[in-house]
Amino acid sequence: MLYARTILDKLHKKMGKGKAIVIVGARQVGKTTLMQQLLGDIPHLFINGDDPLDRQLMDNPNTAQLRSIIGKHKVVLIDEAQRIQDIGLTLKIIIDQFKEVQLLVSGSSAFDLANKTQEPLTGRKWEYTLFPLSWEELEESLGYLEATKQLELRMLYGFYPDVLNNPGMEQDILGQLIDGYLYKDLLAFSGIRKPEELENLVKALALQIGNEVSYNELSQLLGIDKNTVGNYIRILEQGFVIYRLGTYSRNLRNEIKRNQKIYFYDNGIRNAVLGNFIPLDSRADKGALWENFLLSERIKHNAYHGKRVRSYFWRTKQQQEVDYVEEINGKVEGFEFKWQASAREKLPKSFMDTYQAKIKVFDRHNFRDFVLQ
């Protein structure tokens, strides 16, 4: 099934505006399919960075060679561009020398693609991140009723398109995803020499979603240097596996100021790392999965709708806590996540008074107001 992607309309509006359109994101989130939907029946040149012959063809070509490669095509699509040597400089030549050509570029490894394109393409690109399917896109494609029926399945298996399209095969597909992308691709592009260290770190992080993470504790637990832990976490974040939330602190002495929490972009990937797909009602980590699900959906929604918010969590040394805090244009708002909220949730008055902020509570009955707001 083809799903309606939220950013497709934005991409249509950027076509023919004189800049490259760059889509980054993890493998298998649907970047190539999105580009094909964007182009429809428009004739185009397709260059596949995963194909050795295409990579050789695009290895540092000069302007004359590019003219021969592009020919009369008015649209050029380069897929998995991060695998092509010095792709940033090649893209710059195409944009500057072939004004009539619309360039579309996709890449799976943000840390690699950004390094190769950031400087050469300054002012020459529109860049977007494509995530696994969002709740908004699921509802748009299936309708409210059918999407709601899938809530617990999505908390277990996540939102990768291939997972959604193959019910009953979710665990096998997710296993292939983490073997083929999470470890192999990240190891290949980052130069990590000890894959077992990365694998052990990912498992440790998967067990700690919703909890504060200490690099020192992870270092001691895994027997690796603290700086190495930080480097691995940065690579995992740049590779669209995890993201970090820092602490919100401005006024109170007893606020925690330096800790962070780490979440996974997709619940299915997180559960596959642990090999744990037991039903939700039997899980001790149901609350953590719910929190991870809601935060990931909020990140997708904010990104797709151009909401430039700063995201945090808040906690004091006395263990008062707000699960999630957003700051936008100086306004602060707090959010608490419960699978089943009680009628009288105890909310930290010190946070609300200090920051003149409201705290909203979201559970399974009203979560759509949070992920579709």
Write down which residue in 91, 108, 129 finishes a domain.
129
| 368 CB-contact burial (10 Å; exposed 0-12 / middle 13-18 / buried 19+) | middle
Quote the DSSP letter at residue 178: I
pLDDT means per 10 residues, the chain with 373 residues, are 93 95 93 94 94 93 95 95 88 94 87 67 91 97 96 98 97 92 74 84 95 91 91 89 90 65 97 96 95 98 95 87 93 95 84 92 96 90
- The 3-state secondary structure of 53-80 reads HHHHHCCCCCHHHHHHHHCCCCEEEEEC
Q: How far apart are CA 198 and CA 312, in angstroms?
A: 26
Both tokens of 36, joined, read 């094909």
Q: How far apart are CA 91 and CA 101, in angstroms?
A: 11
User: Both 33 and 153 in a single domain?
Assistant: no
Quote the DSSP letter at residue 180: I
The pairing of beta strand 321-328 with beta strand 331-337: antiparallel
What pLDDT sits at residue 347?
87
Write down which residue in 129, 144, 173 finishes a domain.
129
User: Both 202 and 296 in a single domain?
Assistant: yes
b/e sequence 160-175, b meaning 16+ C-beta within 10 Å? bbbbbeeeeebbebbe
User: Both 152 and 296 in a single domain?
Assistant: yes
Question: In this structure, are residues 314 and 325 in contact, taking their beta carbons and an 8 Å threshold?
Answer: yes
Residues whose CB is less than 8 angstroms from the CB of residue 111 and which lie 6 or more positions away in sequence, other chains included: 189, 190, 235, 238, 239
Residue 243, classed as helix, strand or coil, is strand
Quote the DSSP letter at residue 266: -
Q: Which helix (H) or strand (E) holds 361?
A: strand 358-362
User: Both 189 and 320 in a single domain?
Assistant: yes
Is residue 2 in a domain?
no
Question: In this structure, are residues 147 and 4 in contact, taking their beta carbons and an 8 Å threshold?
Answer: no
Among residues 33, 4, 38, which one has the least CA distance to residue 21? 38
Q: How far apart are CA 370 and CA 166, in angstroms?
A: 28
Q: How far is the first Cα of the chain from the last one, in angstroms, to the nearest whole number?
A: 26
User: Both 210 and 104 in a single domain?
Assistant: no
Q: Which sign does the torsion angle of CA 173, 142, 130, 241 carry?
A: negative
Question: In this structure, are residues 122 and 95 in contact, taking their beta carbons and an 8 Å threshold?
Answer: no
Query: How many domains does the chain fold into?
Result: 2
Write down which residue in 80, 95, 129 finishes a domain.
129
Q: Quick count: other Cβ atoms within 10 Å of Cβ 197? A: 17
Is residue 3 in a domain?
no
pTM of the predicted model as reported, rounded to 2 decimal places = 0.93
At position 287, the amino acid (one-letter code) is G
What pLDDT sits at residue 250?
76
Question: In this structure, are residues 157 and 268 in contact, taking their beta carbons and an 8 Å threshold?
Answer: yes
Q: How far apart are CA 106 and CA 109, in angstroms?
A: 10
User: Both 177 and 236 in a single domain?
Assistant: yes
The pairing of beta strand 310-315 with beta strand 321-328: antiparallel
CATH code, 49: 3.40.50.300
Residue 184, classed as helix, strand or coil, is helix
User: Both 68 and 124 in a single domain?
Assistant: yes
**Tokens 């979560």 appear where?**
367
